[in-house]
Chain A
């Protein structure tokens, strides 16, 4: 037991926690100033956010939202670990959700077979779409930032073309919404009834499993080690025999496969079909959450929960006479504060380390000169 606690470096732990806390405090201060500037009192607003956010129905809502955001965060984080900037998560998950919905609507097999098929279809679609950017990067040196931006727009066009009555979609009964054929009820993912608080989506277990797999593969396997090495220094990785190009393409594909899962909680637990109002822009949310969580599986979970919390509670602010549009300001400020706080804390840590090492060296030198005097 003693051994376990002694392994935790208190200073490192403190520094690790300092950055997010600093960022959230800074974000709170900026938000309070913004609310004050509009002539309102920020106190009741924060108070309302807290009480409303911890109501049980809000908690279920937040967990459901966080399931989606967590998958987005992990997908982006996989790229980040390799210094790959996968902006294309957005297009990847939308295209994946669309094709998965089409497949799910067409399948007539029992659910235990249909659900895995839908998931595989989604992951494969995401992987293929990401692979285009990955392959262009390794073979032609095209920046993944640009190619994924282009691919996002192309995905939008592909979906717009196929999501039409007579192609892969149909007009719903109401006659106003165009959507894919709904999934048969057998293919719905299970959810947990929490009574009046609503249904907790069962997909949260898949998200947790993805998080564990992410932690295990990156932290505990040879592949993960190679991947992190390439992310840290391509030349060092190449020198130790890792094929950098292969790693870049592979991690892009894995990132895309995870991106394929992002739309699945919504599809399998909520909407059961893909229509033109399927949520968009979650890929960009994933970037913010991966940054917030520092690419750490638990950090990303906290980031996803924070995002869900903010979304739930700011929507409620309207009833208290505040503007719910403050959400975007809070989110933007948090991300900016987080990145600056991490940088400041990192520099502070480096300085401390230098001082410590310097002090130890000085002490050593002093001890040595003493010894010589004795001798």
Chain B
């Protein structure tokens, strides 16, 4: 190995001279960004008259749809921070939906929730055995787990739900009998007050009330749990020695091993936790979203969670934003959001123009001009139509993700040893 042959690719874009090292934004910056976004949103709502842009119903629906995606993404985060790519999230979520439905209808939804997590952990352990112990390619193992989970749950669902007591209670080969509800939380007083403020449609104040109202009304306990898990994961992975060791397995396992970290057990733990979180995401779908296990219920949310994680640059905060984005656009689709997405086009125009201005200011001519042209095209589209066809509303999150990834890709950095095979004693 000569010095000129290095394994790290050159950075995709040279760092702008004098640019400060990006070590995360300060609280003030984040607050200012949020305030700016709110102002923009409020302005677009008033200009377009599309009240559903940030109504409590919309926000609440978005939150409910974001939770399973966020949990899947968090699952991916745990696993990839320890250096194991987990494309089997979809399969682990499927296992979670099945476990939750199977135990949930027979006993209590709480036990169902636990069973969903447990089934996810089993999926995670299978992935860990294949990738960590046997050193199988991570993506290949993940695809196998997706196939296996789908097959196993279809087979078991027919055995468990199609006959006997389950069939009498309303089960069939593709569906479990209904499960009792988990409790939900509404902050008393606050919710009503916010609702009345929202219905005045005041600039900015009603927007704030709508968003807050959506966040405090009919909140499922699992949503609260998910929020706690997000905060807890951040604290555990970035603020404790355990997290440091776990992340070191994803960055440089050889170095970690030389410092006495048992890389295998950390990877096993991370992938098992990952499976449990994905299983919880599945359980949310089965217990909160629909009150029953349904075949095909996950609908690719495992993959979307993975995308949200990459979108969020392998960080919990960014990941939560990504999941929120997906949840928001999913909610638009469900709430017949053709006109709302149409209003969002205007928001996109504003953002693109701002981006173009920034790029031109930084002398990135090509990118600036492309952004401007795109803004013009979308503006024309906005002015010539009244609504966006509902089929395309569903595609909004995917298009947005592709756009964001292609505009920001070189800023993203995944853990250095992510997806690589690692054998014990490799560094000796």
Give residues in A with beta carbon < 8 Å to B. 34, 38, 85, 136, 140-143, 145-147, 149-151, 153-154, 156-158, 160-161, 234-236, 239, 284, 287-288, 291, 323, 325-333, 335-336, 339-340, 343-344
* A147 pairs with B405, CB closer than 8 A: yes
A323 pairs with B158, CB closer than 8 A: yes
A327 to B148, CA, bound (A): 10
B409 close to chain A: CB less than 8 A:
yes
Determine which of A136, A142, A157, A328 lies in contact with B391 in the assembled complex, contact meaning CB atoms within 8 Å. Answer: A157
A-B contact pairs, 25 of them (CB 8 A): A140-B406, A140-B407, A140-B410, A141-B12, A146-B310, A146-B401, A149-B307, A150-B401, A153-B300, A153-B398, A157-B391, A160-B391, A161-B391, A284-B147, A288-B147, A291-B144, A328-B147, A328-B152, A328-B154, A330-B151, A336-B126, A336-B145, A339-B130, A343-B134, A343-B136
**What are the residues of chain B within 8 A of A142 when measuring CB–CB?**
402, 405-406, 409
User: Are B409 and A141 interface neighbours, CB within 8 A?
Assistant: yes
Chain A residue nearest to B389 in the complex (CB) = A161
Q: Write the B151-195 contact mask toward A (1 if CB under 8 angstroms, else 0).
A: 110110111000000000000010000000000000000000000
Indicate whether A339 sits within 8 Å of B137 (C-beta atoms), given known contacts A143-B310, A331-B151.
yes
Bound-state CA distance A193–B378 (Å) is 54
Which of B87, B151, B307, B410 is packed against the most chain A CB atoms within 10 Å? B151
Select the residue from A34, A141, A239, A344 with max chain B CB neighbours within 10 A: A141
Query: In the assembled complex, how far is the CB of residue B72 from the closest CB belonging to chain A, in whole angstroms?
Result: 13
A153 with B12: CB separation less than 8 A:
no
For window 351-394 of B, CB contacts with A under 8 Å fall at 389, 391-392, 394
Contact across chains for A34 and B155 when beta carbons are under 8 A apart:
yes
Q: Give the complex CA separation of A157 and B409 in angstroms.
A: 24
Q: Are B307 and A146 in contact (CB under 8 A)?
A: yes
Most buried by A among B9, B139, B140, B145: B140
CB of B155 within 8 A of CB of A329, answer yes
User: Which single residue of chain B is at the shortest CB-CB distance from A329?
Assistant: B151
Task: Give 5 nearest A-B pairs by CB, closest first.
Answer: A328-B151, A332-B148, A157-B395, A332-B147, A161-B391
Contact of A154 with B151 in the complex, beta carbons under 8 Å: no
Asked, given contacts A136-B402, A160-B391, whether A239 binds B152 with beta carbons under 8 Å apart, the answer is no
Partner of B148, one of A151, A154, A333: A333
- B407 surroundings in chain A (CB, below 8 A): 140
Contact A336 B155 (CB under 8 A): no
Nearest chain-B residue to A333 (Cβ)? Answer: B148
Known A-B contacts A34-B155, A38-B159, A153-B300; A291 and B410 likewise in contact (beta carbons under 8 Å):
no
Cβ-defined partner of B5 (8 Å) among A34, A239, A335? A239
Closest chain B CB from A107 CB (angstroms): 26
A147-B402, A154-B395, A332-B152 given; name 15 further pairs at CB < 8 Å: A34-B155, A140-B407, A142-B406, A145-B87, A153-B300, A153-B398, A234-B9, A326-B155, A328-B150, A328-B151, A329-B148, A332-B147, A336-B126, A336-B145, A339-B144
CA distance in complex: A234, B303 (Å)? 27
Interface centre among A149, A287, A323, A326 (most CB of B within 10 A): A149
Q: Are B392 and A157 in contact (CB under 8 A)?
A: yes
**Bound complex: CA A21 to CA B395 (Å):** 43
A340 touches B148 (CB 8 A): no
| Whole-angstrom distance between the Cβ of B428 and the nearest chain A Cβ | 16
B residues less than 8 Å from A156 (CB atoms): 395
Asked if residues A150 and B147 are in contact (CB atoms below 8 Å), the reply is no
A336-B139 contact, Cβ under 8 Å, with A38-B159, A142-B406, A328-B151 = no
B290 shortest CB reach to chain A, Å: 21
List, in ascending order, chain A residues with CB within 8 A of B158's CB: 323, 325
Chain A residue at smallest Cβ distance from B147: A332
Given contacts A136-B406, A140-B409, A154-B395, contact A336 B310 (CB under 8 A): no
Tell me how far the C-beta of B49 lies from the nearest C-beta in chain A, rounded to whole angstroms: 26
The smallest C-beta distance from B149 to any residue of chain A, in angstroms, reads 7
- Complex CA gap A310/B147 in Å reads 14
Is A331 a contact of B147 with CB atoms below 8 Å? yes
Partner of A146, one of B130, B145, B151, B405: B405
Structural contact, B148 and A336, CB atoms closer than 8 A: yes
Complex Cα distance, B145 from A288, in Å, reads: 11
- How many angstroms between the C-alpha atoms of A147 and B406 in the bound complex? 9
Question: In the complex, A160 Cα to B392 Cα: how many Å?
Answer: 9
Q: Once bound together, how far apart are the Cα atoms of A239 and B389, in whole Å?
A: 50
What B residues does A329 contact at CB under 8 A?
148, 151-152, 155
Contacts of B427 in A (CB 8 A): none
Known: A136-B402, A335-B147, A336-B130. A145 touches B154 (CB 8 A): no
Give complex CA distance A374, B150 in Å: 71
Q: Could you tell me which residues of chain B, from 329 to 347, have a CB within 8 Å of some CB in chain A?
A: none
- With a cutoff of 8 Å between Cβ atoms, the chain A residues found around residue B310 in the complex are 143, 146
A198 and B145 CA atoms in complex are apart in Å by: 36
Query: In the bound complex, do residue B144 and residue A335 qualify as a contact, i.e. CB atoms below 8 Å apart?
Result: yes
Contacts of A288 in B (CB 8 A): 143-144, 147
Binary A-proximity of B313-324 (CB < 8 A = 1, otherwise 0):
000000000000
Enumerate chain B residues within 8 angstroms of A335, measured Cβ to Cβ: 143-144, 147-148
Distance between Cα atoms of A18 and B389 in the complex (Å): 54
Q: Which residues of B contact A154 (CB under 8 A)?
A: 395, 398-399, 402
Determine whether the beta carbon of B405 is less than 8 Å from that of A323: no
Q: Tell me the complex Cα distance, A140–B12, Å.
A: 7
Residue of B nearest to A155 (CB): B395
> Known interface pairs A141-B12, A161-B391, A288-B147. Does A340 touch B136 (Cβ–Cβ under 8 Å)?
yes
Q: Is B135 interfacial (CB 8 A cutoff)?
A: yes
Check if B12 sits within 8 Å of A332, measured CB to CB: no
- Closest residue of chain A to B401, judged by CB? A150
Report the separation of the CA atoms of residues A160 and B151 in the bound assembly, to the nearest whole angstrom.
27
Task: Check if B136 sits within 8 Å of A332, measured CB to CB.
Answer: no
CA distance A267 to B371 in the complex (A): 40
Please tell me if the beta carbons of A325 and B402 are within 8 angstroms of each other in the complex: no
Bound state CA distance, A324 and B7, in angstroms?
48
Give Cα A34 to B155, complex, Å.
Answer: 10
Q: Chain A's nearest CB lies how many Å from the CB of B139?
A: 6
B306 adjacent to chain A (CB < 8 Å): yes
Within the complex, the shortest CB–CB distance from A60 to chain B, in Å, comes to 26
B395 touches A145 (CB 8 A): no
Q: How close is A139's CB to chain B, nearest CB, in angstroms?
A: 8
What distance in Å separates the Cβ of B389 from its nearest Cβ neighbour in chain A? Answer: 6
Give the nearest-CB partner of A149 in chain B.
B303
| Most-contacted residue by chain A among B7, B310, B389, B398 (CB, 10 A) | B398
Chain B residue at minimum C-beta to C-beta distance from A162 = B391
Which A residues are CB-close (under 8 A) to B409?
A: 136, 140-142
Q: Contact: A325 with B147, CB < 8 Å? A: no
> Please, which residue of chain A has its CB at the minimum distance from the CB of B423?
A347
Q: Distance in Å from the Cβ of B17 to the closest Cβ of chain A?
A: 21
How far apart are the CA atoms of A284 and B139 in the complex, in Å?
Answer: 13
Residues of B contacting A140 in the complex (Cβ-Cβ under 8 angstroms): 12, 405-407, 409-410
